[in-house]
């Protein structure tokens, strides 16, 4: 029986969030401690626990069929690897940073300077596009210490909250790219295994859609239904049910998480009452 081989980060935050989305897709993994691979109990899938930096090569070689991986790694070393879906977690950016004492006005200030990075391809492409010539020092890990020990004038590295830069007396000066976790497919995936990947992708999209939205129930006077319908379009239109109280109805709909509080405030201003908000586990459209 064919199995879908999926790679995830061996440890760390990306590992935890990757396993969570698979769990939310209804996939149960037998993942004991220190296992390098483990089967799913209820889906034709086998999960591989790999070093983050090794995953692009495993995808290229067809050792794994797909992976949950940071988009930044694909930009750096993921030629011919197809991104099937952006997953919305583990968001970060690849940025240039300099010492807080460095007088930085523009990217031109890095011309002829030394830049330490674990992302030489990404860094060099950005500098070339900007017409900047710099001396790149490739470092694996602890890049942020380079300016403090005189190894480099600047760094190019992953930034999440910026706290690591702050602790090392660095300031972010240029954002090269923004990244998040993605589901990526091997260029060598077979047609029959790709069918399994599409089934997994269908589940993932349903979970992501649910995370992006909230289910809203409210009570409204009947003369306010038209105004509220304009605020609550829902997937097609709101569900409207009559209440036992004459002249009143209950309305059910879906609200996007990003617009949620603005919508709720508008509903209250129109006259909606008894507003209930529920999370959506999965949403199939």
C-alpha torsion sign, points 74, 79, 81, 85:
positive
The predicted structure's pLDDT at residue 61: 95
**DSSP annotation of 81:** P
Residue-wise pLDDT for 184-220, tens only, equals: 999 999 999 999 999 999 999 999 999 999 999 999 9
Contact between residue 250 and residue 218 where contact means Cβ atoms under 8 Å apart: yes
Residue 214: which of 276, 268, 277, 270 has the closest Cα?
Answer: 277
As to burial, measured by CB atoms within 10 angstroms (0-12 exposed, 13-18 middle, 19+ buried), residue 87 is buried
Q: Which domains does the chain have, with CATH numbers?
A: 4-89+180-189 (3.40.190.10), 92-179 (3.40.190.10), 213-279 (3.30.70.120)
Residue 256: which of 217, 202, 192, 213 has the closest Cα?
Answer: 213
The predicted structure's pLDDT at residue 233: 67
The predicted structure's pLDDT at residue 33: 58
Residue-wise pLDDT for 117-154, tens only, equals: 999 999 999 999 999 999 999 998 789 999 989 999 99
The predicted structure's pLDDT at residue 162: 87
**Which residues does the chain have with pLDDT short of 50?**
none
Contact between residue 277 and residue 215 where contact means Cβ atoms under 8 Å apart: yes
Backbone angles phi, psi at 212, to 5 degrees: -80, -10
The predicted structure's pLDDT at residue 261: 92
Residue 90: which of 107, 102, 73, 105 has the closest Cα?
Answer: 73
As to burial, measured by CB atoms within 10 angstroms (0-12 exposed, 13-18 middle, 19+ buried), residue 167 is exposed
The predicted structure's pLDDT at residue 285: 77
Q: Structure tokens of 84?
A: 């099937």
Q: What is the pTM of this model?
A: 0.88
């Amino acid at each position: 029986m064919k199995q879908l081989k999926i790679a995830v980060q061996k440890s760390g935050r990306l590992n935890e969030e990757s396993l969570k989305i698979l769990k939310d897709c209804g996939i149960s993994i037998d993942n004991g401690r220190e296992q390098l691979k483990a089967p799913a109990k209820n889906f034709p899938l086998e999960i591989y626990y790999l070093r983050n930096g090794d995953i692009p090569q495993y995808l290229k070689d067809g050792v794994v069929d797909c992976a949950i991986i940071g988009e930044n790694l694909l930009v750096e070393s993921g030629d011919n690897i197809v991104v099937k879906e952006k997953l919305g977690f583990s968001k970060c950016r690849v940025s240039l940073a300099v010492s807080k004492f460095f007088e930085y006005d523009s990217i031109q200030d890095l011309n002829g300077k030394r830049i330490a990075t674990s992302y030489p391809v990404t860094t060099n492409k950005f500098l070339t596009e900007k017409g900047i010539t710099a001396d790149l020092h490739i470092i694996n890990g602890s890049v942020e210490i380079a300016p403090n020990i005189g190894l480099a004038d600047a760094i190019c590295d992953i930034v999440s909250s910026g706290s690591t830069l702050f602790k090392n007396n660095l300031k972010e000066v240029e954002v090269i790219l923004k990244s998040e976790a993605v589901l990526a497919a091997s260029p060598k995936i077979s047609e029959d295994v790709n069918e399994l990947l599409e089934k997994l992708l269908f589940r993932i999209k349903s979970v992501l859609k649910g995370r992006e939205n909230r289910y809203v129930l409210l009570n409204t006077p009947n003369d306010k239904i038209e105004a509220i319908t304009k605020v609550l379009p829902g997937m097609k239109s709101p569900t409207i049910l009559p209440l036992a109280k004459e002249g009143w109805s209950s309305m059910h709909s879906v609200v996007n998480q990003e617009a949620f509080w603005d919508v709720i405030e508008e509903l209250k201003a129109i006259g909606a009452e008894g507003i209930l908000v529920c999370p959506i586990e999965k949403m199939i459209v």
